[in-house]
Amino acid sequence: MTDEVRTDDFVSIYEVGLRDGLQNERGFIATEDKLVLLEALLDAGLRRLELTSFVSPKWVPQLADAEEFARRALPSRSGTTLSALVPNDTGLERALGAGLPEIAVFLSASETHNRKNTHKSIDRSFEVFAELVPVALAAGVRVRGYVSTVWGCPYEGPIAPERCVAIAERLLLLGCYQVSLGDTIGVGDPKQTRDIVGRMLAVVPREKIALHLHDTRGTALANILAALELGIREFDASVGGMGGCPYAPGAAGNVATEDLAYMLERMGLETGVDLERIIAAANVAERIVARPLPGRLHRAGPFKPRAAS
């Protein structure tokens, strides 16, 4: 959540399409196109956005323009938080050099998935964070933490929720202001979501928890509903439903920003997102990735009855 005072009816949508979405698209998307999409997302009212990732371009060539994109994206964005993933000290240096006000560190609740995704053990990830996070904080940069495969791992299967909670707590203890819990391969169901979120809420205030749900099996909005009922008020989403994880077999996109905004707004909750404009942004996303995206609202349109003919 932002630092602003919000009523309980405000639900923050954290847009990750430019990073989590585009990193999984085939081929490099021009910086110019990313800037056009960013403008469309800002126009739609999104105020928390992850721009890119300062990982090695060797691993994620789609985001090789991280510095240039950040440099061109950052000026004059008051009231907006732009962030980027940072895997290590080198990434942090690049992020600080680019002048980002926020970064995100990430690891997996599954040892196997963490090794495949980051080439480190979970313990080694925390050693890296223990050096990196204080440097970021000292530079006035806020740090968000991602925990992936919380709802299940493609290699290890179910992950004990106690383990996920312990990892999230360690991230918060290191200085992350929030942890975003990921259903990386989109296997979660609402009952499991209640269990995981309930366990988190037993030890952590709700504003420190966000959910990052992939919609691989269509359950993301139902899981979000279950979390909303427990008081969670921030959800990551990706315009058009772009995204996935190249190291998680079968992973489809994040929950689509426009579908999430539609459901929340129809429920009388506030998102700050304009539905017509987020549909326009999803159409921009579809054009620049040059493939149909799985989100629904940008095809169906919002609920606008037409006059009987």
Q: Which residues are catalytic?
A: 245
Binding mask 232-271 for a second copy (x = CB under 8 A): -----------------xx-x---x--x--xx--xxx---
Should residue 166 be labelled a site residue for a second copy when binding is judged by CB under 8 A? no
- In the complex, minimum distance from the CB of residue 30 to a second copy, in angstroms, rounded to a whole number: 29
Which of 128, 141, 217, 211 is CA-nearest to residue 177? 141
Which of 261, 275, 277 is CA-nearest to residue 13? 261
Burial class (CB in 10 A: 0-12, 13-18, 19+), 76: exposed
Should residue 202 be labelled a site residue for a second copy when binding is judged by CB under 8 A? no
- In the complex, minimum distance from the CB of residue 153 to a second copy, in angstroms, rounded to a whole number: 6
Should residue 307 be labelled a site residue for a second copy when binding is judged by CB under 8 A? yes
Should residue 284 be labelled a site residue for a second copy when binding is judged by CB under 8 A? no
Angle value at C-alpha 94, between 255 and 175, nearest 5 degrees: 65
Should residue 45 be labelled a site residue for a second copy when binding is judged by CB under 8 A? no
How far apart are the C-alpha atoms of 307 and 287, rounded to whole Å? 31
Q: Which residues, listed in sequence order, are joined to residue 53 by a DSSP beta bridge?
A: 85
Should residue 152 be labelled a site residue for a second copy when binding is judged by CB under 8 A? yes
Supply 271's token pair: 């998102």
How far apart are the C-alpha atoms of 131 and 171, rounded to whole Å? 12
- Closest CB to a second copy among residues 54, 247: 247
Binder among 134, 157, 205, 246 for a second copy (CB under 8 A): 157
Binder among 176, 209, 221, 239 for a second copy (CB under 8 A): 221
Placement of tokens 């021009």 in the chain? 30
- In the complex, minimum distance from the CB of residue 280 to a second copy, in angstroms, rounded to a whole number: 16
- In the complex, minimum distance from the CB of residue 301 to a second copy, in angstroms, rounded to a whole number: 6
Q: Tell whether the torsion through CA atoms of 115, 119, 124 and 129 is positive or negative.
A: negative
Should residue 300 be labelled a site residue for a second copy when binding is judged by CB under 8 A? yes
How far apart are the C-alpha atoms of 148 and 176, rounded to whole Å? 15
CB–CB of 254/213 below 8 Å?
Answer: yes
The binding site for a second copy (CB under 8 A) comprises 112, 116, 152-157, 185-192, 215-219, 221-222, 224-226, 249-250, 252, 256, 259, 262-263, 266-268, 295-297, 299-301, 303, 305-308
